[in-house]
Structures are given as C-alpha cells and as structure tokens.
Amino acid sequence: MKAELAVIGGTGLHEMISEGESWDSNTSYGKPSSIITLGKIGGKNVAFLSRHGKSHTIPPHKVPYIANMLALSQIGVRKVLATTAVGSLRADYKPGDVVFFDQFVNMTSGRVDTFFDGPEVRHQEMAEPYCSGMRNVLIREAKALDMRYHETGTVVVINGPRFSTRAESRFYAHQGFDTISMTPYPEITLAREKGMCYAGIGLVTDYDVGMEGDTNVKPVTFAEVQKIFGKNVEVVKKLINAAVPKILERPLQCSCTASSE
Ligand SMILES: [Zn+2]
C-alpha cells in the first residue's frame, strides 16, 4: 500500500473512502485510530484514516496521534489533509463556515507530541505550521465551489473531552484566537516532524460558550447545528475531491520541507 496524500477525517467525515485496499497497521507506538483504507480521488491513490475510529469511539485526548502519523509515513504519505469540527470565537466565523488554519495555540496536556524523545535531539521549526501551498489550492477550490470560507484562522486546541467554561472561552476570544477545537494538536507537529505538508480544514459547528450574549451572535439551537454540520460535511467532501488532484498534480510552492530539515 502506497499513497502520497492522506485524508484524516474528524467528526462526520469517517466514511470518505469505502472501497479499496485496507491496512490494519501496528506501529512501534501501537495501533492507529482506525484501519487505513486506500482509495482513489481523481485517479490518485489517497489514504484515509478516521481520527476517532470507524465507529467514533476514541475521544480527542485518547487519539493515538503518534501511531497515526507514523503509520501514514510508513506508506509514503507526504501530504495530509485533515478535517476537524471547531467552535467559533468570533461573530464573523459563522456556523457552516469553513476555516483554513494558518496558526494553532496548544493548550492540551499529557499528549505524546514528539518523535524526538531522545537520544536524538531535534527542535522542529513551527513558525508557520500549516502548508501554504495546500492552503492556496483549498482557497481556490473553495472559491470555485462558492463556499463560505476563511483564508486564515488560529485554532486554540484544548484537551477535552470537556468543553470550556464561559471564562476560558472569553479568555481565548480576547487573545484573538478565531476557533477552538480538541484535535488539531499534536497531529500537525508530528506530521511536520515527519517532513509532511499538512493542511487543516476547520468546520465551524457553533459559537463557543463565551460568545453567548455577544450582540452580533444569534443563538443557534442544537437542531440547527446538526443540520448545518451535515450540510457542511457534504460540502467539505466536495472540496476535498476537487482539491486533491490539484494538490498532487505538481510540486507545491511551500516552505514546509525546508524548515523540517
Ligand atoms: Zn507544504
């Protein structure tokens, strides 16, 4: 099994590729979240991994991020497209919008977040964590699909599985962070340690709790959130189907590889 690109599906996106070869890997860090399936998008081999397991049984703080990234690197993956559900920390990032992350802030704890635990010592550069080349393709394709999207966004990553208090949520919003999630870290840093390009797609499901009372924010019901999310997942699948062939057709213009050496 070989694939240059992998899609990591978060909540709602765990059935992107159904047919094709599958691999029940076991790495030196243990088993990945799910069997890795191989399918075709635009005639290209694409690996697919469900972050929370095929039946969505692995909570965010228990995802075996390091086994996932090692398994993907073992089948030759050099590019990762990862989706994740996010809460919004600002009025203009609305439920139903898609965000192409350019920065993260890590507020998680206790997660295994490096391949360089000694004796080899390495300090990975992380100033620009997300691949600008992949992001540019996603922006072009999102525009062509007439999606509501944000070209950049900072995601603050909390440990979970609990949500934030109102005070925590307001604190994050006041820091200028745009969205909040439980899974983008340490997936991204592990990918970068393996020299991979990584793009993160955030699907805004709702406003975070600290946004309640903001006069620009209309309250949304759980039923509305579910409806928005279901529609959003379909749009993101279309986006991935359109973007993957473009990402793979020629070398990306980015600085990810240079900064990982
Ligand atoms: Zn890159």
CATH number of the domain that 128 lies in? 3.40.50.1580
Gap from CA of 125 to ligand 1 centroid (Å)? 13
Q: Give the pLDDT confidence score for residue 137 in this predicted structure.
A: 98
Q: Which residues of the chain have pLDDT under 50?
A: 259-261
Q: How many CB atoms lie within 10 A of CB 259?
A: 15
Provide the pLDDT for residue 213: 82
Domain extent at residue 150: 5-260
Tokens 């005639």 belong to which residue? 43
**Is 53 strand, coil or helix?**
coil
Q: Which amino acid is at 80?
A: V
The one catalytic residue among 113, 146, 208, 214: 208
Active-site position among 24, 97, 206, 214: 206
Q: Output the CA 198–ligand 1 centroid distance in Å.
A: 7
**If 0-12 CB within 10 Å is exposed, 13-18 middle and 19+ buried, where does residue 80 land?**
buried
| Integer Cα distance of 72 and 48 in angstroms | 9
Q: List b or e across 104-120, with b for residues whose CB sees 16 or more CB atoms inside 10 angstroms.
A: bbbbbeebebebeeeee
Output the pLDDT for position 29: 97
Distance 74 CA to ligand 1 centre (A): 19
Give catalytic status of residue 24 as yes or no.
no
Structural domain tally of the chain? Answer: 1
What is the distance in A from the centroid of ligand 1 to the CA of 191?
11
In 89-207 the beta strands, taken as DSSP E runs, fall at: 98-100, 103-107, 149-150, 154-158, 179-181, 197-207
Protein residues near ligand 1, an ion, with CB under 5 A: 131, 133, 197, 254, 256
Separation of alpha carbons 121 and 175, rounded Å: 32
Query: What is the pLDDT, as a whole number, of residue 261?
Result: 41
**Distance from residue 197's CA to the centre of ligand 1 (Å):** 4
Q: List, in sequence order, every residue forming a beta bridge with 199; answer none if it has no partner.
A: 81
Q: How far apart are CA 135 and CA 158, in angstroms?
A: 23
What is the per-residue pLDDT for 224?
A: 80
Residue of 2, 48, 7, 4 lying closest to 248 (CA atoms): 4
Indicate if 208 belongs to the active site: yes
Which of the 8 DSSP states describes residue 225? H
Task: Quote the ligand 1 centre to 64 CA distance (angstroms).
Answer: 23
Strand, coil or helix: 128: coil
- From the CA of 134, how far away is ligand 1's center (Å)? 6
In 21-102, alpha helices (H)? 65-74
pLDDT value, residue 259: 47
Single pTM value for the model? 0.94
